[in-house]
Structure 1
Amino acid sequence: THQNRTNKQRRQKPNLFLPEKSKHPPSTTVTKSRRRTMGASSPFLLLLLMTMTAVFALLPSPSVSFSLKSAKSFLRRSSDSPFRDDFLFGTAASSYQFEGAYLSDGKGISNWDVHSHTPGKIVDGSNGDVAVDSYHLYQEDIKLMKSLGVNSYRFSISWARILPKGRFGEINQAGIAYYNELIDALVLKGVEPFVTLCHFDMPQELEERYGSWLSPEIQEDFGYYADVCFKYFGDRVKYWSTFNEPNFQVSFGYRDGTFPPSRCSGQFGNCTAGDSETEPFIAAHNIILSHAAAVDVYRTKYQKAQKGMIGIVLHCAWFEPFSDSEADKLATDRANAFYANWFFDPIVFGRYPEEMAQILGSTLPEFSSKDMAKLKQGLDFLGINHYTSYYVKDCMYSACEPGLGTTRSEGFFQQIQERNGFPMGKRGDLGWQYVYPQGMEKMVTYFKDRYNNVPMIITENGYGEMNSPMLTTGDFLNDVRRVEYMSGYLESLMAAIRKGADVRGYYAWSLLDNFEWTNGYTQRFGICHVDYVTLKRTPKLSAKWFKGFIDKYGNAPKALM
C-alpha cells in the first residue's frame, strides 16, 4: 500500500450514502448516487432488504445515522452487472505484512526482517515478526474469506521462506509444505489463489552477497526462484504476478532510502550510501529484466500445461493537469512516464517511455536487442494498485517548491492534491489519500487506450485510517468512510467496464489490518479488524458491505455491453 506522507488528519464521519439524484450527467461524472429504481414489490428486493436489515442489526451501535432508508437507497440500484462470469472478487495480502513466523520452519532472514529491526526505520518501532500471524491462522482467515463471499485471495510468497539463501542454498521444504497447505485449503473452499512472487521482501543473503537489485546477477536468482514456485504450485495457481509495486520499491529503497536497502543521496534522505540520481534506474532495469526472466521460464516450461496468466503489479495513481496550460499537460505526461509507465512500457513495448529517455539520457540503462525481444508483450495482464489521484504542476519551465517529483531524476513535475484552495476530493484520514472515485475510471480508460486493452486486474484498492488510541474497537468496526470509498471506486470501475475496459478482477486492500511497512501498526486498511494483542479478527461494516456488493453484482444478471 501507499506510504503515509503528511500529518494525521482528524476523523470525519460523513453520511454513508449520497442523495439519489446526481446533478451531473452520467457522461461527465461517476458518483455513488447513479441508480435505477427496482420495483418496490420485487421479491428479490424484499429478500435482499430483509438480509441487509438482519446484518445491520448485528452491528455495534453506530455513531452516525445508518438508517433503513439508507439501506433501501442502496438496494434500489440496478442489479445489471458489467462483470464477467469469471470476475475475481477478492482481498489482498502480502507475506511480510501478514505471515509473521519470521524465523519458523527454516525461513531465512529477509531484507525487511533486517530493516524493521533497525532502530528508527519504523515509525512506531514495531516489526513483522508476528504481524497478524497468518502463518498459523490461515485456516481462520480462509473461513473469513468464505463468509465474505469472495472467490479469490491475492497473497505473496516469502522468497526467503522458500530459498533462504537464494540459489546459493537448498530449497526449504518446510516452506514449500506451508504454501502447498495454504493453496490446497484455498482451492478446497473455492477461493482462487493469486500469487505474487516478490512483494518487497527478499532473502537478505542476496543483498549482502552482491547488492541485490543493483546487480544483473539478481536476474538469474529471480528466474530460479520463479521456476521453483511454478514447479511446486503452478498446477493450482492460475494467476501470477512477478512483482508488487516495483516503482515504489526502487523509489523508496534507492531514492529516499525509507525502504531497504536504505540507499540515497544526501538531498533525498538520510542514508550512509547511495546515489538517488542513478540507482533507482539501475534497480528498476534489473527488476524489469528479472520479470522477463520469470515470464520466459513460465512460458517455455509451464504455461501451456498449467494454463495460467502472468503479469506485474504497479502502483498507479491518476494524474490530471493542474491547469489548462501546455506546460502542465506535458508535466502530466511526464508524471505518467516516471510512475507506472516506467515499468509497463518496457514490458509491453520493449522500450522505456520517450519522456524518460529525453530527460535522463545516458542515465537510463539500455535494453539489448535480446532484452527487447524477451520483453515485448511480456505480460498477460496489467496489475493495478490504485488508491488516490493528484494534480500535476510543471517544474521544468516553472519554479516549484522542493517536493515529490520536482527533480530531474523524478521528471520535473510536482504532485499536489489541492487547487486554488479546493481539495481534489474529500481528504482521507491519511495525509496523502484524497477520495476521488472518478480517478479509477479515468485511469483504467487511460491504460485501456495506451496498451490496446490488455486485460487488467485491480490488484489493490482501499482506504486507510489512523490507528488512533482515542478510538474504540467499535469505532474501527463502524468504518463508514471506507464503505463510502469502496462504493464510489467500484461504481467508477463499473463505468469503465461498461465502456469496454477489459477488467478481470478487483481486490480490496486488505483482508485484515496489518503491518503497514514503515508505518508499522499506526494505520489500518483492513475490511476486518485485528486486535493486535489477541489477534482476534472481526469483520467491519465494510466487509459486510463488500459481501452485499458481491452478492448483488457478482451473481446478478449480466448487462449487455
Structure 2
Amino acid sequence: MTKHTFPENFLWGGAIAANQVEGGWNLDGKGLSVADVASYKPNVDNKDYSAHLSITNEHVKEAILDLSDQDYPKRRGIDFYHHYKADLALFAEMGFKVLRLSIAWTRLFPTGEEMQANEKGVTFYRNVFKEMKKLGIKPIVTLSHYEMPLHLSTTYNGWVNRKVIADFVRFATVCIDEFDDYVDYWLTFNEIDSIHRHPFTTAGIITENSKENEAVQDIYQALHHQFVASALVTKLAHEKNAKNKVGCMLTKLMTYPLTCDPLDVELTLKKNLENNFYTDVQVRGEYPKMIEKSLADRAIKIEMLPEDRKILKENTVDFLSFSYYMSMAESGSPDAERTPGNTVLGVKNPYLESTEWGWQIDPKGLKIALIDLYDRYQIPLMIVENGMGAVDQFVDGQIHDPYRITYFKQHFMQMKAAIDEGVDLIGYTSWAPIDLVSAGTSQMSKRYGFIYVDADDQGVGTYKRSKKDSFYWYKAVIESNGESLFKAI
C-alpha cells in the first residue's frame, strides 16, 4: 500500500525569474540585459516563434534609445524589487519550503566585463536571501535565466565568443562566495536547450551578425561554451562548500508519435534523443556519439580546447531539473495540424485539451517524462517549472480559478504515481506562484499565479496583490504534504 503523502522533506514551492518580476531595470547601477529589449508581442503564441523572437541590430538600437518601459514590459516586471518582502511573506503563508529565483547578471555586473561586482546589486540579493531565511524558505538560484548582459551580446555576439565563459564564471564566483550562507541549490542555465529556439534570449546571439550560412554553427559553438561554463561553475560550487548541490535545467519536450506509422515513430525517437542531448552532456559528461555524427554530417565543427572534454567529464551535475508544461506529437505528414507550446510548435494531439494559448494539457505526460528521465540518468529529479497561463477575472472581488486547481491537481497526482513507481523526485516549484510578465509574449494578461497582480499588459494598475482560490488550495496541499489531494478518493 502506498501512502497518500509525498516523501518526507519534499521541496514544495514556486519559481520566478528576475527579468519577469523585478523591474527596477535602471536603478542602483543595473545595466541593460537582453530581456530589457524584449518587446510586447501578444500574438506570439499563435505564430511561428522563429519569426517573432528573432532580434535584429536595428531592434536593439531602437530599444537602447528608448528610455521608457512602455514597449518593454520586462523592464517593469511586477516591481518585485520594491515588493519582495510582501511577496515572500505571501509565499511563506502558502508554506513554501523553497523558492526558485534567478540573479540578474547585470545587477551585479552591468556590462558583464567589470572586474568588481556592483555592491548595491549584491546587497539587494543578500537582503532577499536574508528575508527568505527569516521566513524559512530555501532559495534555488538560477544563475542565467534569459538575462545576460546586453553589452556582451552587442560586442561579442554573446556566447559565440569563448571569452564570455570567463565573464560568467566571474559572476558566478561572486554569487557563490557572497551568498554561501543562504544558498544550497544552484542551477547554471535555464532551459539550456532553448538556445536553438531563441538564440538571442538564451545566449545573446544576434543571428544576422553571423557569417553567411554560419548561424547554426554559431549556435552550437555558443552552446558548447555554456556547457563548459556550467561545468566550471559546478566545480567552483563543490569546491566552495560540500553542501552545494548543482543542477542542470532542461525544457522537457515530451513527444509522442501521432500514429503507429514507423515514420512517425522514427521521427519521434529522433526528436526525443535531441531533447536528451543537453542533459546527456551535463549529467554524463560527454557528447552523445549520434549527436557528434549528426554535427559532422552537417559540417558543424565545434572548436574545443584540449581540456574541454575533461572539464565536462569531471564536473557533472548533482541533480536534473526541468520544466514541463505540455507534450506534443510528431508526424511525417506535411498536412498534420500543428499547435503552439513552450516556444515550440508541435503536431496537435487529438486526445488532449488545450489552454487558451493553445498549449496542450497532458498530466500523464509528466509521469512519463519523470520515468523516462529517471530511468535514463538515475539521479535526483526536480520539477522547477510547471503551470498554465490563463485569463483570470474578478467576480465579486474574488478570483475563482478552478481550471488552475484542476490543472495542478492532475499533475500532482501523476507526480505521486511516478514516485510510487520508484522515481526519485525531490522537489516541485510551480511556474509561477505570482502573476508575472510572460517570457515569450511579455504579457501580463497571460496569468500563471496563485497570487493576482493588478497590472495590465501596458503596466497600468495598482500592482496590488490578491489571493486567488488556488492560493488556499496549494497552501492545503503543502500543509498536508499532498494528502489533501486524496480527500475525495
**Please, what TM-score do these two structures have when normalized by structure 1?**
0.74
Deviation sequence 1:396-453 (CA, Å, 0-9, x none): xx65779899xxxxxxx983123xxxx231111111x1111100110010001111x2
| Aligned residue runs from structure 1 range 51-130, under 5 A | 80-81=4-5, 83-116=6-39, 118=59, 125-130=71-76
Residue 294 (structure 1) shift: 0.9
The reply to whether residue 319 of structure 1 matches residue 224 of structure 2 is no
Deviation sequence 1:155-176 (CA, Å, 0-9, x none): 0000000111224343100111
| Aligned residue runs from structure 1 range 335-374, under 5 A | 335-339=271-275, 341-361=276-296, 362-363=299-300, 365=302, 370-374=307-311
Deviation sequence 1:277-306 (CA, Å, 0-9, x none): 323212211111111121122223x132xx
Counterpart in the other structure of 1:511:
433
Cα 1:206–1:360 change in 2 (3 A) is same
Counterpart in the other structure of 2:320:
382
Residue identity opposite 2:421 in structure 1 = K
| Aligned residue runs from structure 1 range 279-318, under 5 A | 279-300=218-239, 302-304=240-242, 307-318=243-254
Residue 555 (structure 1) shift: 7.8
Say whether the 8 Å CA contact 2:4–2:483 is kept in structure 1: no
The reply to whether residue 175 of structure 1 matches residue 97 of structure 2 is no
Instruction: State the secondary structure of the residue aligned to 2:25.
Output: coil
Return the alpha-carbon distance in structure 1 between the equivalents of residues 23 and 120 of structure 2.
15
| Aligned residue runs from structure 1 range 7-22, under 5 A | none
Cα 1:475–1:426 change in 2 (3 A) is farther
Return the alpha-carbon distance in structure 2 between the equivalents of residues 273 and 95 of structure 1.
35
Cα 1:201–1:273 change in 2 (3 A) is farther
Residue identity opposite 2:287 in structure 1 = Y
Residue identity opposite 1:130 in structure 2 = R
Say whether the 8 Å CA contact 1:392–1:414 is kept in structure 2: no
Instruction: State the secondary structure of the residue aligned to 1:183.
Output: helix
Return the alpha-carbon distance in structure 1 between the equivalents of residues 345 and 440 of structure 2.
23
Q: CA RMSD in A?
A: 3.0
Instruction: State the secondary structure of the residue aligned to 1:490.
Output: helix
Return the alpha-carbon distance in structure 2 between the equivalents of residues 265 and 204 of structure 1.
16
103, 107, 127: which one aligns with 1:157: 103
Counterpart in the other structure of 1:263:
206
Return the alpha-carbon distance in structure 1 between the equivalents of residues 325 and 301 of structure 2.
28
The reply to whether residue 540 of structure 1 matches residue 468 of structure 2 is yes
Say whether the 8 Å CA contact 2:318–2:380 is kept in structure 1: yes
Residue 473 (structure 1) shift: 6.2
Residue identity opposite 1:134 in structure 2 = F
Residue identity opposite 1:286 in structure 2 = H
What are the ranges of 5 or more consecutive residues in structure 1 without an aligned counterpart? 1-35, 37-77, 406-412, 557-561
The reply to whether residue 460 of structure 1 matches residue 406 of structure 2 is no
Residue 85 (structure 1) shift: 1.8
Residue 327 (structure 1) shift: 2.6
Return the alpha-carbon distance in structure 1 between the equivalents of residues 9 and 103 of structure 2.
24
Cα 1:128–1:330 change in 2 (3 A) is same
Residue 356 (structure 1) shift: 2.9
Return the alpha-carbon distance in structure 2 between the equivalents of residues 227 and 474 of structure 1.
50
Say whether the 8 Å CA contact 2:324–2:385 is kept in structure 1: yes
Say whether the 8 Å CA contact 2:38–2:74 is kept in structure 1: no
Return the alpha-carbon distance in structure 1 between the equivalents of residues 25 and 127 of structure 2.
18
Counterpart in the other structure of 2:54:
none
**Please, what TM-score do these two structures have when normalized by structure 2?**
0.84
Return the alpha-carbon distance in structure 2 between the equivalents of residues 331 and 404 of structure 1.
17
253, 259, 267: which one aligns with 1:331: 267
Instruction: State the secondary structure of the residue aligned to 1:168.
Output: coil
Percent identity, please: 28
The reply to whether residue 449 of structure 1 matches residue 395 of structure 2 is no
Counterpart in the other structure of 1:54:
none
Deviation sequence 1:40-91 (CA, Å, 0-9, x none): xxxxxxxxxxxxxxxxxxxxxxxxxxxxxxxxxxxxxx9621x232211001
Cα 1:474–1:329 change in 2 (3 A) is farther
Return the alpha-carbon distance in structure 1 between the equivalents of residues 142 and 294 of structure 2.
32
Residue identity opposite 1:213 in structure 2 = W
Cα 1:491–1:210 change in 2 (3 A) is same
Residue identity opposite 1:371 in structure 2 = D
Residue identity opposite 1:462 in structure 2 = G
Residue 146 (structure 1) shift: 1.4
Residue identity opposite 1:506 in structure 2 = Y
Counterpart in the other structure of 1:70:
none
The reply to whether residue 434 of structure 1 matches residue 367 of structure 2 is no
The reply to whether residue 417 of structure 1 matches residue 348 of structure 2 is yes
Counterpart in the other structure of 2:50:
none
May I ask how many residue pairs the two structures share in their alignment?
Answer: 447
